[in-house]
């Protein structure tokens, strides 16, 4: 029987966000890495590289952890929502819906994917700071809760909702004025944010919405950032949200939902030490309960929006090693057949990842190298100064923690096609997103014949 890989210490198998690898990671009899019962190097051979791999059991374990923790620590109703911007697809929408989750969408594409994937409209919320009329109407006609982010949303909806139709279901987003120690590009809860109404404007907006006969304000929303390892800011958020809830209900809004956003961090590298899903939910749930109890407020349905902490550690990316360049006294570059088009986070956020050779994960490390992508960009570096065994062209490199914000942020830079994605479970693998080919990139190009005649 294969042994679990000691590649990294599995700290908490009940909370996948605290593990670098998917929870099903193990070694076969020859010491090669397997995930979901599938040999990674064989997946690379069968489906080609770069290849996104998603482990179904890790995804389900994360969903169960959130669902059971909410049931354990919050005495009222609750509904976790998958933040699909992390990784949007039909299969993921279907999987989270089957686990009893709702979904958070931020565009017509994400909304359509969720609906086609089987998420009921009443369990979807639509976010966005500049929603189009098409997005707003698609949400309205499918019974999706629309998160009001600004006055523009209110003005557009007032014109879109039919006078004799059902009222639009609304949730109001505001900035709670709480900062977290995270990358400044993904801090969304402080006062200088493009998202949501300022706290000082909240009462005025609530009074204005009370006059509207085309809508019902059912919920309040706030979010304080992403990849957060701290818990105290969530206690502070509960207090601010309870105060807003009290104000809204006093004005006469039937607020039944309190959405605290997401933001729980994950383990990308060995030094990362995020809270467990259970610990995060316990702190949030108890804080909301206590703040509502102290104000004699009936408990709202508690919503949260995990994205990264649901899917990141369920995913990994497989690359094939190619050329090498050794600069004596400086560094050694090892190039792979992907890069910033399939993972833009290192060049965008200076993000760090863990990696190993798929067929030799336990071989002694012999050199410190920089893993470079194949794009025409000097900053196209996936991993800086990572210790690896001496590797050869053609070997498969596995990069972990890529289930979130890799596929969803991918591009066709240098006209490189996007990778395929497979899901693995109990020794089986299935394609869940087809690989693009070079010909696919020409589908939307047009030769304007009228212009050509003028040339």
- Residue 383 φ then ψ, to 5°: -140, 125
Taking the CA atoms of 387, 388, 392 and 393 in sequence, report the sign of the dihedral they define: negative
Alpha-carbon dihedral 331, 336, 342, 347, rounded to 10 degrees: 10
Token duo for residue 90:
């039909």
E strand or H helix at 299, and its extent? none
Q: Which of 63, 356, 376, 391 is catalytic?
A: 376
E strand or H helix at 334, and its extent? strand 331-336
Which residues are within 8 A (CB) of 419 and not within 5 positions of it... i.e. 6 or more apart? 49, 50, 51, 52, 317, 338, 342, 407, 410, 435
Distance spanning both ends of the chain, measured CA to CA: 69
Q: Between β-strands 301-304 and 257-259, what pairing exists: parallel, antiparallel or unpaired?
A: parallel
Residue 21 is among the residues annotated as catalytic for this protein: no
In 3D space, the residue among 257, 276, 265, 166 whose CA is nearest the CA of residue 213 turns out to be 166
How crowded is residue 166: how many other Cβ atoms within 10 Å of its Cβ?
A: 12
Q: How far apart are CA 97 and CA 259, in angstroms?
A: 18
Token duo for residue 245:
């809830």
Q: How far apart are CA 187 and CA 6, in angstroms?
A: 35
Taking the CA atoms of 400, 406, 410 and 413 in sequence, report the sign of the dihedral they define: negative
Give the DSSP letter string of 179-195.
Answer: --SS-GGG--SSSS-SS
User: Are the C-beta atoms of 375 and 344 separated by less than 8 Å?
Assistant: no
Q: How far apart are CA 314 and CA 16, in angstroms?
A: 8
Q: How far apart are CA 245 and CA 251, in angstroms?
A: 10
- Burial of 90 from C-beta contacts in 10 A (0-12 / 13-18 / 19+): middle
User: Are the C-beta atoms of 36 and 24 separated by less than 8 Å?
Assistant: yes
Which residues are identified as catalytic? Answer: 376
């Amino acid at each position: 029987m294969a042994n679990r890989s000691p590649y990294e210490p599995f700290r908490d198998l009940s909370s996948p966000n605290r593990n670098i690898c998917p929870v099903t990671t193990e070694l076969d009899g020859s010491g090669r890495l397997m995930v979901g019962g599938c040999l990674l190097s064989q997946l690379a051979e069968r489906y080609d590289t770069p290849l996104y791999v998603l482990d179904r059991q890790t995804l389900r374990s994360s969903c169960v952890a959130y669902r059971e923790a909410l049931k354990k620590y919050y005495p009222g109703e609750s509904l976790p929502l998958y933040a699909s911007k992390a990784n949007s697809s039909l299969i993921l929408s279907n999987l989270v819906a089957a686990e009893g989750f709702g979904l958070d969408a931020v565009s017509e594409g994400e909304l359509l994917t969720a609906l086609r994937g089987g998420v009921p409209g009443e369990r979807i919320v639509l976010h966005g700071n500049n929603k189009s009329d098409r997005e707003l109407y698609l949400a309205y006609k499918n019974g999706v809760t629309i998160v009001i982010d600004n006055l523009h949303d209110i003005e557009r909806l007032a014109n879109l909702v039919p006078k004799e139709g059902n009222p639009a279901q609304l949730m109001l987003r505001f900035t709670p004025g709480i900062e977290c120690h995270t990358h400044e590009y993904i801090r969304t809860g402080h006062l200088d944010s493009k998202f949501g109404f300022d706290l000082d404007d909240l009462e005025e907006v609530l009074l204005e919405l009370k006059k509207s006969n085309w809508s019902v304000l059912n919920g309040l929303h706030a979010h304080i950032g992403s990849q957060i390892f701290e818990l105290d800011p969530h206690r502070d958020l509960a207090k601010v949200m309870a105060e807003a809830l009290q104000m809204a209900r006093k004005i006469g809004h039937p607020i039944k939902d309190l959405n605290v956003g997401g933001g729980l961090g994950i383990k990308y590298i060995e030094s990362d030490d995020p809270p467990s899903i259970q610990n995060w939910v316990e702190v949030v749930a108890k804080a909301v309960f206590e703040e509502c109890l102290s104000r004699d407020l009936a408990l709202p349905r508690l919503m949260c929006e995990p994205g990264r902490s649901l899917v990141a550690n369920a995913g990994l990316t497989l690359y094939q090693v190619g050329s090498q360049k050794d600069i004596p006294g400086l560094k050694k570059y090892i190039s792979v057949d992907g890069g910033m088009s399939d993972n833009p986070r290192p060049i965008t956020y200076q993000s760090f990842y863990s990696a190993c050779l798929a067929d030799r994960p336990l071989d002694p490390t012999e050199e410190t190298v920089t893993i470079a992508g194949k794009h025409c960009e000097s900053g196209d570096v996936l991993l800086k100064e990572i210790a690896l065994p001496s590797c050869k062209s053609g070997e498969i490199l596995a990069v972990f923690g890529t289930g979130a914000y890799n596929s969803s942020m991918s591009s066709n830079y240098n006209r490189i096609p996007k990778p395929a994605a497979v899901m693995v479970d109990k020794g089986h693998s299935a394609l869940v997103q087809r690989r693009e080919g070079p010909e696919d990139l020409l589908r939307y190009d047009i030769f304007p014949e009228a212009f050509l005649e003028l040339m």
